[in-house]
């Protein structure tokens, strides 16, 4: 069977360009792969196109636009998910602009598909007392509870993404003064974040009890489940949901959905409320642009405004004079 030009380019994109030239992580490559898996299924099931004969002529703006509409209408995807799928396709198309410049018009038509505007979401975070109540529902008297407490404490203290915690190895932890951990984030970028002294002491006990200081173990995951396997994103998410559900009876104000990312948002908000500058929060969280971190400043400002409004006296019934009745003010404005 003849290999199509689309199959050849897609193969080179996933086996060489993404992992070798761009040095993207395995998880990022998998997320791109999932997009094209869905795209090819759409072409086969909705368009009647044979995957083994799918070529560049069929990979056009009409097919991509139809795929995006299929995601929203048939699969029930949110606009943000639709935009993420489009971004992955556009990344491949930009690769094709260099590999097959003769089809530049075709590629530009795909790139011209607009990104849909979405409502900016307010980050969900836990107040200090809510976070404390959640952690108090972890039974540290058992090995599993002690391990859960360690993981949740490091998750909050580092403001890490859930995958960064899952990938954390023993060699990434430094408990000598100043205690710190090295996190590997998106694009395999690494950053070093400090640990609070209490968390460092708990981590020291955890490492000693599990005898993790031996050199052959340095490359092993820091956190493993009861079967000895590394924690996955879904495993950590399940743990957070379990303890959040237990704490909700004690603190009804807990958000309906508490995910591992809520711990990250909570750390950022608590740092901001503690007077830490946004530029430091940006580096701490591993954001590439301080504009991404500014969302926490907006949330904090909105919370302060609501608090002030609740404390302010009711002035709606007061007789406030109209500024247009001030002749001196009106004369000054006219001279501007």
Residues designated as active site: 161, 186, 261, 264, 287, 296
The region that residue 262 occupies, defined by phi over 0 for left and psi between -120 and 50 for alpha, beta otherwise, is alpha
Quick one: how far is CA 24 from the chain centroid? Answer: 16
Q: Which of 97, 105, 74, 83 is nearest to 35 (CA)?
A: 83
Identify which of 140, 136, 151, 331 has the alpha carbon closest to the alpha carbon of residue 225: 151
Backbone angles phi, psi at 229, to 5 degrees: -95, 150
Among residues 226, 252, 255, 222, the alpha carbon closest in space to that of 240 is found at 255
> Token pair of 109, please?
């038509």
Residues 6+ apart with CB under 8 A from 196: 157
Sheet holding 173-174, edge to edge: 173-174, 180-184, 190-194
Give yes or no for a contact between 290 and 279, defined as CB atoms under 8 angstroms apart.
Answer: yes
H/E stretch holding 8 reads: helix 5-12
Rg (CA), the chain: 26
Structure-token pair, residue 10: 């897609």
The whole-angstrom separation of Cα 112 and Cα 46 is 23
SS3 content of the chain, % helix, strand, coil (to 5): 60, 5, 35
- Can you tell me which residue has the tokens 């998410």? 237
SS (H, E, C) 27-39: HHHHHHHHHHHHH
Write the DSSP symbol of residue 319: -
Would you give the end-to-end CA distance of the chain in angstroms?
Answer: 80
């Amino acid at each position: 069977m003849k290999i199509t030009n689309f199959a050849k380019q897609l193969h080179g994109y996933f086996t060489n360009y993404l992992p070798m030239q761009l040095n993207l992580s395995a998880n990022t490559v998998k997320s791109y792969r999932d997009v094209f898996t869905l795209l090819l299924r759409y072409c086969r099931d909705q368009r009647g196109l044979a995957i083994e004969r799918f070529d560049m002529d069929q990979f056009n703006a009409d097919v991509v636009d139809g795929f995006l509409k299929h995601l929203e209408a048939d699969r029930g995807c949110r606009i943000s998910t639709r935009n993420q799928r489009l971004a992955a396709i556009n990344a491949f198309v930009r690769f094709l602009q260099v590999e097959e410049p003769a089809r530049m018009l075709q590629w530009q038509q795909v790139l011209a598909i607009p990104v849909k505007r979405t409502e900016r979401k307010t980050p969900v975070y836990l107040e200090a007392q809510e976070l404390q109540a959640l952690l108090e529902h972890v039974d540290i008297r058992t090995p599993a509870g002690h391990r859960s407490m360690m993981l949740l404490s490091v998750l909050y203290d580092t403001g890490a993404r859930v995958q960064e915690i899952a990938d954390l190895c023993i060699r990434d932890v430094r408990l000598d003064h100043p205690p710190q951990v090295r996190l590997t984030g998106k694009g395999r970028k690494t950053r070093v974040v400090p640990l609070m002294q209490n968390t460092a002491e708990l981590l020291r006990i955890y490492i000693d009890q599990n005898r993790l200081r031996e050199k052959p173990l340095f490359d092993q995951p820091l956190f493993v489940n009861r079967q000895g396997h590394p924690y996955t994103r879904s495993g950590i998410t399940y743990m957070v949901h379990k303890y959040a559900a237990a704490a909700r009876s004690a603190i009804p104000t807990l958000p309906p959905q508490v995910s591992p990312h809520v711990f990250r948002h909570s750390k950022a908000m608590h740092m901001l409320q503690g007077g830490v500058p946004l530029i430091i929060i940006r580096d701490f969280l591993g954001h590439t642009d301080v504009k991404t971190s500014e969302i926490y400043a907006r949330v904090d400002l909105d919370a302060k405004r609501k608090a002030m409004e609740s404390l302010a006296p009711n002035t709606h019934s007061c007789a406030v004079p109209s500024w247009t009745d001030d002749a001196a003010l009106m004369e000054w404005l006219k001279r501007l």
